[in-house]
Amino acid sequence: MRLHGRIATLLVAGAALAACSGGSGGSGGYDGSGGGGHADAGTPRTPSTTSAGLRWSPPRQGPERPAAGTATVSRERHGRDLNGDGYDDLAAYDKDRINIVYGSPHGLDPRTRTTVRACLLKPPVPAAEDVRLVRADLDGDGHTDLIADFSGRRALVLWSGPRGITEVSDLPDQGAVETGDFDGDGHADLFRLGTTETSSGTVAYGPLRRDGAPARRQDLKDPPPGKDSVPYEATAADIDGDGRTDLAVRMRWTDPESEGDGDITDTGLWVHRGGSGGLRYDAGRSGPHVLGRVGVPADVDGNGTEDVTEVTFLAFRKELHITTQRGEDREGHTTVLHRIPGVGVRAPDFGGTKGLAIGDVTGDGRADLVVGADQANNNQGLVLLLRDAAHPAEGHLQAVDLESPGVPGEDGRYRRTRLAPVAPLLDVDGDGHLDVVATARWGGYWTLPGRTPAWTHPAPAASPAGSSTDPAAPPALRGRGTRPGPPARTRPEPAARTRPEPAARTRPGPRLSAGPGPLSGAGRLSPGA
């Protein structure tokens, strides 16, 4: 799409990245070009193989280092600011790289970045694209650390300090990772999901040493998951508002007859309440027929307790299902939205969601919901914003993709962009408003800054395929940016290049929901391979 103004590209991780060799003793895990000299003293310059068989390169810094921050600021920003300089930082997983881009007064600055590259060995982890990055101050130094959860089979900790990520180590044991303060002592605790029929999982109470040793451990084996059942997912949330994180663990059938039919029938939900002595089993809210408690924790309705929200996109029905279980409610409430802007413009659509995050993007004091339909529109992807998540309605939806006015880039004709937001929501420029940061499958990021809305009336109902019913509605995004790289590498639009649409295929109006949207500002792009 043609852009107004000067739009340039910003590189996220640089052209030259560290390469991991296939053996456990090879070199080549570190690339010192540019920022290698800025690494902290003592940073290893050769790759290491963890006890879990995960080969990682030392953190690669640069070409510039982020401003030195403080632990106090990092705590105040609720885990979003890794180095404590007052600006939230992006952490994203791309193929085998963990990329951290630090915030600044002008937003994310790719000149101040850290890259850790992990090669999956012995054996490779399936579905590596689903690597989760969890934020928590594990060692209690006030700076938020990153836990990279490789499908529950392996986990790395990227330890943070005043200058950001400076050290990497692996966590012992296996099991998916959840974090919270389960005993209310002010230290982050680490839960690892159980993998057998004998235990729901283990809790490592913080603070943790950097070798992974906790202050104490708790094995949640009373009661056990049960015969032919194993834990398969967990959600940590403070559902009663007492300041101690509670934990819900869902069990599934283990297919003991080896039928191989893909049946993962739920066999129960085990709820553990947080308390001064740690987690304790809540028999009244647990059992083989209890449902719910799976999703993203956030205080959706502003009553001081964390709710659990799950979002599903059903492509064949063109429906968005939003299920929220409020506080201590025993069941969730599901709202189905049928008119989803931006969906169906480029067939086929595929289901699934990615990057669910909840926070006040619009600045009106109410929690908004952001989620990606990354396989919609023939895998090009959409970023969906639902204003006022406590009261979901079709007129509150806004959609953004690479064909939206003011967004740098365009949908790939021969590649799958898979545009999707990255959780959590971040205030990358320190202006007090949460921003949406989205990434693509082939690399790069886009910053979609939030702002206080300039309207006081509700938006009109959304039109089919995301066309606007309000011709005066301004575009929700305006692209701007600068590039720190060589000035000769730009991406001007060729004057003769056009993209005519087939006669039967129309794209009416801007690819947004009806009415003005809260997202405005800079879109930033890495060109990818």
Q: Kindly state the average pLDDT of the residues 475-502.
A: 36
**How many percent of the chain have pLDDT more than 70?**
70
Does 262 lie in the same domain as 349?
Answer: no
Per-residue confidence (pLDDT) for residue 97, from 0 to 100: 83
Per DSSP, what are the bridge partners of residue 287?
269
> Is the per-residue pLDDT at 470 higher than 50?
no
Q: Kindly state the average pLDDT of the residues 72-82.
A: 81
Residue 345 lies in a domain: yes
Distance, in Å, from the CA atom of 482 to the CA atom of 453, rounded to the nearest integer, reads 26
pLDDT band at 294 (very low <50, low <70, confident <90, very high): confident
Residue 243 lies in a domain: yes
CATH number for the domain that contains residue 411: 2.130.10.130
Q: Which residue's structure tokens are 């040493």?
A: 209
Does 377 lie in the same domain as 279?
Answer: no
Residue 529 lies in a domain: no
Domain end, chosen from 414, 429, 460, is at: 460
Provide the mean pLDDT of the chain.
74
Q: Minimal CA–CA distance to 366: which of 298, 276, 457, 318? A: 298
**How many percent of the chain have pLDDT more than 90?**
40
For the chain, the domain total comes to 3
Q: What is the DSSP letter of 64?
A: B
Domain hosting residue 418, numbered range? 295-460
Per-residue confidence (pLDDT) for residue 250, from 0 to 100: 92
Q: Kindly state the average pLDDT of the residues 45-58.
A: 54
Per-residue confidence (pLDDT) for residue 324, from 0 to 100: 94
Does 433 lie in the same domain as 301?
Answer: yes
Does 303 lie in the same domain as 190?
Answer: no
Lowest-confidence segment of 328-332, 431-435, 521-525 by average pLDDT: 521-525
**160-179 per-position pLDDT tens digit:** 999 899 888 888 888 999 99
Q: Which long-range contacts (CB under 8 A, 24 or more apart) does 204-209 make?
A: 205/278, 206/137, 206/138, 206/139, 206/140, 207/138, 207/139, 207/140, 208/138, 208/139, 209/139
**344-400 per-position pLDDT tens digit:** 777 788 888 999 999 999 888 999 999 999 998 888 899 999 999 999 998 899 999
> Is the per-residue pLDDT at 227 higher than 70?
yes
pLDDT band at 492 (very low <50, low <70, confident <90, very high): very low
Per-residue confidence (pLDDT) for residue 121, from 0 to 100: 43
Lowest-confidence segment of 5-19, 201-215, 311-325 by average pLDDT: 5-19
Does 305 lie in the same domain as 278?
Answer: no
**398-453 per-position pLDDT tens digit:** 999 888 887 887 776 657 888 999 999 999 999 988 999 999 887 789 998 887 44
Residue 307 lies in a domain: yes
Please report, for residues 142, 300, 302, 472, the alpha-carbon distance to residue 452 in angstroms, rounded to integers and kept in the order given.
Answer: 30, 19, 18, 19
The model's pTM is: 0.77
Residue 433 lies in a domain: yes
Q: Minimal CA–CA distance to 229: which of 180, 276, 288? A: 288
Does 273 lie in the same domain as 302?
Answer: no
Does 361 lie in the same domain as 315?
Answer: yes
Amino acid at 243: G
> Is the per-residue pLDDT at 315 higher than 60?
yes
